[in-house]
Structure 1
Amino acid sequence: NVHVGPDLRRGLVDLNGTGEVVGGIVVMRYGENALATIDAVKAKLESIRNGLPPGVSIEPVYDRSGLIKRAIGNLTFKLLEESLVVALITILFLLHLRSSFVAIVTLPLGILIAFIVMNAQGLNANIMSLSGIAIAIGAMVDAAIVMIENMHKHLERDAGKKDHWQIVLDASKEVGPALFYSLLIITLSFLPVFALEAQEGRLFKPLAFTKTYAMAAAALLAVTLVPVLMGYFVRGKIIPEHKNPINVFLLRIYDPIIHFVLRFRWSTIIVAIIVAVGTVFPFQRLGSEFMPPLNEGDLLYMPTTDPGISITKAKELLQQTDRIIASFPEVHRVFGKAGRAESATDPAPLSMFETTITLKPEDEWRTGMTVEKLVRDLDDAIQFPGLTNAWTMPIKTRIDMLSTGIKTPVGVKVMGPELDQLSELGQRIAAILSDVPGTQSAFPEKSVGGNFLDYRIKRGEAARYGLTVGDVQDVIMSAIGGMNITSTVEGLERYPINVRYSRELRDNLPALQRVLIPTPTGAQIPLSYVADFSIEKGPPVIKSENARKSSWVYVDIRDIDVGTYMKSARASIDEHLELPDGYSIVWSGQYEYMERAKERLQVVVPLTLLIIFMLLYLNFRSVAESLIVMLSLPFAMVGGVWMLYLLGYNLSVAAGIGFIALAGVAAEIGVILLTYLDKAFRERSDSGRMNSRKDVRAAIYEGTAQRIRPVMMTVLAIVVGLLPIMWGHGTGSQVMKRIAAPMIGGMVSATILTLVVLPAIYYLWRERSISQQRGDP
């Protein structure tokens, strides 16, 4: 029976559950611009559309250009919002439009410089690279704000007494070095991010690069362009500080606080220590995860069924699940794939389904529907025996599969020599994990249980008939697996001609035993004379990792963070499972990324803190003052931890990036205030007015209360500049919120430390030095 048919099929695709279609996958070259490539492919498809045969159309079913455009658009809008808010803060505090212009102009210039360097380096505009600029905007304008505010101080005191440009020079020299060092500290504080590797490194290094470029540009502009612009623009009538309504309001609040602090110094410090220790409470209750979920706007349904499934059954299951998914009103298009494409880069078996679900815009969804609720409803609707559901997102899954091979948040890789034992251990681990709170499904891969036709050639019998082992194998292979005997040319196309027995004969063991095999003498003998046939059990798939056989368990979790789940899961496995000798388990999935990033940061963060301390010492030339500024870092962490706890966020690499950024800006606030305190102390010492504790108290009051405006401007520029991120809901906002939240909370606690605790510590230190100079015991 000879007929025309397809080659051996290893995969199929379906559209909306309506039937099979022909699918194509476009693979982009490494390092190319994704958006430009997608646009070019779409343009090419459009150009060939008119030349297609009647009834044939090409429909793009998934591309990430929508995600890219939404993310870039959202971050660009946030950058504009932040810039406007920072500009408003500057105008309100200075009440001098031209002075505000000097500060504001550093923002677009600094961002432009960062974009120029990005372009030269080949960095694309994406969620992470734009996020680096977004979290830097407030800090970028800080140096200019402090420089201009100090210029206002000098103009109030020396206008008409000194040359205008001399006033500019004096004001710049007074705070310029400290500001440059503080901006350098903010820049270098991101060194730990550059030390991240693998997936976390690829994700966050663009953010670190752009933030570094933006802060380096701000530092350069602060000591070059800003003084020149101040000379030209900071002129005319300057509203005195004591007449500025905002400054009067701040001083009215802060004046009694600083007097109380200077009177009850030790009590203030002890209360601050208690508050810091109390942060252990929320910290212990924070969950942990690798990354917050990035809403890509589309879903990927990736169930697994039993190995060895026929293509007919795979087609049936795929169409059934696709039809159910397509029936939901929030779904725009469903594109399902079972098995592999004709590509060496897609080694998926028929038992692996991948259904890409393109969703409609959220404003077309049912009232109250969210992505999380939609996934739960879909999961409840698709319940087939032997089909284990897994819901994720397309890009995330591609990254996970390339990194660890695990498509679920948590995976267990069981290693050992014997497949039977691996299968048993996988089943036991899945059963144990199914009882762990938070487990949605635990599915062990089947490393045994496949049915195979096993044949053993009778070498002695074959030789007696004049047959070789190869002769017998050729007959068996052509009968069961098929053999390409020639090819046919149809126009410009070439097709193989394959010969094999029909399915009813290939699956019939007695029929195979009766297959005739020719001998050199011309006689034909049944195949059973020279080979024994039997149906045997065996492994449908053999996996190995690090030269050891392995079996995987996929674990999907719900309503729990990965870190908390892992603690419970590991404890449960340690309690209920005893591994035989020669066997081991490796936890994988997102947990693997978390542990790798944690181990890396534990080494790099202390080194970075040491570098920050060295820069502080170069600025102050004092170990004591450098240590006082370093104290601001743990107190800044207090507010960051409480902010994460109150918002219900988990600790993640994104939150860690926020804490790293917070350390730099917290150090900057400490440097600014300590510079003012040193200046006030030095002026009194030089004039011979530093002889008693009362003089120390007066110097600290001058350096704090009289400098409340620049400190609050600096803080508010950062905090208010980050607020637009917190009220955003667009693509990429979930990641950005985790970065901004600890920065906002930490700046609040760092400001309290700077304005309340730091003066008390400074008082005790200076009081001791005065006592030593006077010879007091």
Structure 2
Amino acid sequence: MVQKIIELALQNKLMVLMISTALFAYGLYSIQKNPIDAIPDLSENQVIVFTEWMGRSPQVIEDQVTYPLVSNLQGIPQIKNIRGTSMFGMSFVYVIFEDNVNTYWARTRVLERLNFAQRLLPQGVTPSLGPDGTGVGHIFWYHLDAPKMDLGEQRALQDWYVKFALQTVPGVAEVASFGGFEKQYQLVIDPVKLQYYNISLMDVMNKVKANNNDVGGRKFEMADMAYIIRGLGYIKNKQDIEEIALNNYNGIPIKVKDIGRVQMGGDLRLGIFDMDGQGEVVGGIVVMRYGENANKVIEAIKEKMQEVEKGLPEGVTFKTSYDRSSLIQEAIASVRGTLIEEIITVSIVVLLFLFHWRSALIIIIQLPISVAAGFIFLELFGISSNIMSLTGIALAIGVVVDDGIVMVENAYRHISEAQSEKFNSTPKV
């Protein structure tokens, strides 16, 4: 069989040349199209369902949130496993699908089942899907360098400006904020005054919630003009909360400021983000969408950050905390360097042992073609160019070189022997 293939190749040199050129061209196309990453994605094909119910114990979360969700999500087709985790105020359900299931099909089926499971959960508790990323999707971390701003202002800048801008970058599934304080209005209630005015904490909560709203009225026509009546009641500052009426005492309205005080504060934190021991910082984690090219996404993020930085307050800049593109570039440079070293080594070895430049040229030509053909298979099987796959290609280069040297040397020896026999068998005049 091998002999027939060799004979066919020798008889159709033009066809072999055209096939080799086509393989090399298609390989270059696959290199451009194949996703590039530093770490192989070995995570499972999963959809995360996140539910928040703050203030509840893990046991309550398990009984009233996690268990109903897990029970109702088990009927989804092509599921491999379902795992549930309950903690203080939060529930995580990991729905793991078969590897051949499309990620967005799986998310759609989970969302359909959540619409049914919603009625089994406590009132006001709404589950949501996690980002369409993977376990290795954290490709870029950054933080704000703002020495003149406090942590609350930095977090507000991150949440309401930077985060929204970076989420528009193609290939980004989520930008998760970290560090700082999330600003909130805090009511510090005096229990003695509550008891004196006969007002409960539930009354205070309901009144404040009801007074933080805009209401619409009917249309009012006057002098051939139509006016829309609206009631503007959204809270804009602390004074608006302090003036909210809760009840009346002997005909006198009791306001929030009469039973306590209103202050600006930060939400409860379970940790901090410290940078090199120099103090707390505020920033974000960019999560890449499933199946995207990490290198291209990081480049697009950096370009977007340059645009966003123009709109930041004076003295505020971006600092990079983690950038996977440097590791990606090092992996690519390693393969490129290995390929160049192999080509030089092969050329020297063949020229020293055979003293035949055409034999060296044959081996040198087959190296880039073999590498390009390897990327064709990476693209066909959906494998990204990462440290593992690129290392495999680098190791395979050595095998290709060894085989090429052996085959060329063997062919060279047989041709030389055949020529010698022909010369010796020729009658001498």
* TM range, smaller chain: 0.5 to 0.7
Cα separation, 2, equivalents of 1:676 and 1:543 = 64
Q: 2:413 aligns with which of 673, 676, 679?
A: 679
1:388 Cα deviation from its structure 2 partner: 6.7
Superposed, 1:601-640 pairs within 5 Å as 602-603=333-334, 606=337, 609-610=340-341, 613-614=344-345, 617=348, 621=353, 624=357, 625-626=359-360, 628-640=362-374
Aligned CA distance change for structure 1 residues 278 and 655 (closer, same or farther; 3 Å): same
Aligned twin of 1:301: 48
Point out the structure with the larger strand share. Answer: 2
Aligned: 1:544 with 2:274: yes
Aligned CA distance change for structure 1 residues 600 and 334 (closer, same or farther; 3 Å): closer
**CA deviation vs aligned residue, 1:50-70 (integer Å, no higher than 9, x gap):** xxxxxxxxxxxxxxxxxxxxx
Contact 1:426-1:444 within 8 A present in 2 as well = yes
Aligned twin of 2:72: 327
Superposed, 1:229-628 pairs within 5 Å as 246=1, 250-251=3-4, 253-255=5-7, 257-261=9-13, 276=24, 279-291=27-39, 293-294=41-42, 296=44, 299=46, 301=48, 303=50, 309-311=54-56, 315-316=60-61, 319-329=64-74, 330=79, 334-339=83-88, 353-355=91-93, 373-379=105-111, 389-390=130-131, 397=135, 408-417=137-146, 418=149, 419=151, 420-445=153-178, 447-450=180-183, 508-509=189-190, 511=192, 535-538=263-266, 540=269, 542-546=272-276, 547=278, 549-555=281-287, 557-558=289-290, 560-578=292-310, 579=312, 581=315, 583-586=317-320, 588=322, 592=324, 595-600=326-331, 602-603=333-334, 606=337, 609-610=340-341, 613-614=344-345, 617=348, 621=353, 624=357, 625-626=359-360, 628=362
TM-score of the superposed pair, with normalisation by structure 1: 0.36
The gaps in structure 1 that reach 5 residues or longer are: 1-245, 340-349, 401-407, 454-505, 513-531, 691-777
Cα separation, 1, equivalents of 2:413 and 2:385 = 40
- Cα-Cα RMSD: 4.8
Aligned with 1:544: secondary structure? coil
Aligned twin of 1:211: none
Contact 1:441-1:556 within 8 A present in 2 as well = yes
The gaps in structure 2 that reach 5 residues or longer are: 116-124, 194-259, 425-429
Aligned CA distance change for structure 1 residues 411 and 621 (closer, same or farther; 3 Å): same
Cα separation, 1, equivalents of 2:263 and 2:369 = 70
Aligned twin of 1:147: none
Contact 2:49-2:92 within 8 A present in 1 as well = yes
Cα separation, 2, equivalents of 1:391 and 1:274 = 36
Q: 1:658 aligns with which of 382, 388, 392?
A: 392
Contact 1:450-1:538 within 8 A present in 2 as well = yes
Partner amino acid, structure 1, of 2:287: V
1:679 Cα deviation from its structure 2 partner: 0.7
Cα separation, 2, equivalents of 1:258 and 1:534 = 89
Aligned twin of 2:257: none
Partner amino acid, structure 2, of 1:323: P
Aligned CA distance change for structure 1 residues 416 and 313 (closer, same or farther; 3 Å): farther
Aligned with 1:436: secondary structure? coil
**CA deviation vs aligned residue, 1:563-595 (integer Å, no higher than 9, x gap):** 44334444333334435545214375xx62x53
Cα separation, 1, equivalents of 2:113 and 2:319 = 34
Aligned twin of 1:146: none
Cα separation, 2, equivalents of 1:652 and 1:666 = 21
Contact 1:409-1:557 within 8 A present in 2 as well = no
Cα separation, 1, equivalents of 2:80 and 2:366 = 50
Partner amino acid, structure 1, of 2:166: L
Superposed, 1:22-171 pairs within 5 Å as none
TM-score of the superposed pair, with normalisation by structure 2: 0.59
Aligned twin of 1:347: none
Cα separation, 2, equivalents of 1:379 and 1:290 = 32
Cα separation, 2, equivalents of 1:331 and 1:662 = 35
Partner amino acid, structure 2, of 1:301: I
1:323 Cα deviation from its structure 2 partner: 2.0
Partner amino acid, structure 2, of 1:433: L
Contact 1:326-1:334 within 8 A present in 2 as well = no
Contact 2:36-2:385 within 8 A present in 1 as well = yes
**CA deviation vs aligned residue, 1:710-763 (integer Å, no higher than 9, x gap):** xxxxxxxxxxxxxxxxxxxxxxxxxxxxxxxxxxxxxxxxxxxxxxxxxxxxxx
Aligned CA distance change for structure 1 residues 321 and 577 (closer, same or farther; 3 Å): farther
Kindly tell me the number of residue pairs found equivalent between the two proteins.
Answer: 334
Aligned CA distance change for structure 1 residues 325 and 557 (closer, same or farther; 3 Å): farther
Cα separation, 2, equivalents of 1:551 and 1:316 = 30
Aligned CA distance change for structure 1 residues 562 and 614 (closer, same or farther; 3 Å): closer
Aligned twin of 2:232: none
Aligned twin of 1:64: none
Contact 1:322-1:355 within 8 A present in 2 as well = no
Aligned CA distance change for structure 1 residues 333 and 386 (closer, same or farther; 3 Å): closer
Contact 1:291-1:652 within 8 A present in 2 as well = yes
Contact 2:36-2:295 within 8 A present in 1 as well = yes
1:667 Cα deviation from its structure 2 partner: 1.4
Contact 1:279-1:641 within 8 A present in 2 as well = yes
Aligned CA distance change for structure 1 residues 279 and 587 (closer, same or farther; 3 Å): farther
1:556 Cα deviation from its structure 2 partner: 5.4
Partner amino acid, structure 2, of 1:543: F
Cα separation, 2, equivalents of 1:271 and 1:614 = 27
Aligned with 1:294: secondary structure? coil
Aligned CA distance change for structure 1 residues 645 and 614 (closer, same or farther; 3 Å): closer
1:302 Cα deviation from its structure 2 partner: 7.1
Point out the structure with the larger helix share. Answer: 1
Cα separation, 2, equivalents of 1:603 and 1:508 = 64
1:621 Cα deviation from its structure 2 partner: 3.0
